[in-house]
């Protein structure tokens, strides 16, 4: 009779963000992490272990290096609203126009 260990039934969500590919040095970072992982075992085990380790590195990197994009977006929208309010009352100065364009 075939016996199996306990089945691990956990949800592990991970979403790769395409914009990560636009960040300078991202591919080198992935290669560096991948090559730094060292696992011993059958090739399929090593592959799965490396993928899990890479997933954790990406999650950590996304949170710390890129910061909270939601907060950054809110700040930019707030600054834009402030500039538009100023523009209703007077002509924007050159540095304000530049800020609004970026």
N residues, the chain: 102
The stretches of the chain forming alpha helices (DSSP H) are 26-36, 43-64, 69-89, 94-101
Is residue 20 within 8 A of residue 62, CB to CB? The reply is yes
Q: What is the mean pLDDT for each group of 10 consecutive residues in the chain (102 residues)?
A: 61 79 90 97 96 93 72 81 83 77 68
pTM: 0.57
Report the C-alpha gap between 33 and 50 in whole angstroms: 9
Backbone angles phi, psi at 50, to 5 degrees: -65, -40
Taking alpha carbons only, the member of 47, 46, 61 closest to residue 14 is 61
> What pLDDT is recorded for position 33?
97
């Amino acid at each position: 009779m075939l016996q199996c260990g306990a089945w691990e039934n956990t949800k592990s969500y991970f979403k790769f963000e395409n914009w990560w590919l636009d960040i300078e040095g991202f591919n080198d970072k992935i290669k560096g992490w991948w090559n730094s992982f060292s696992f011993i075992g059958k090739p399929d085990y090593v592959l799965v272990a490396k993928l899990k380790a890479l997933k954790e590195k990406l999650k950590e990197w996304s949170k710390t290096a890129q910061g909270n994009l939601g907060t950054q977006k809110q700040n930019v929208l707030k600054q834009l609203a402030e500039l538009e309010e100023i523009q209703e009352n007077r002509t924007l100065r050159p540095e304000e126009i530049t800020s609004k364009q970026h």
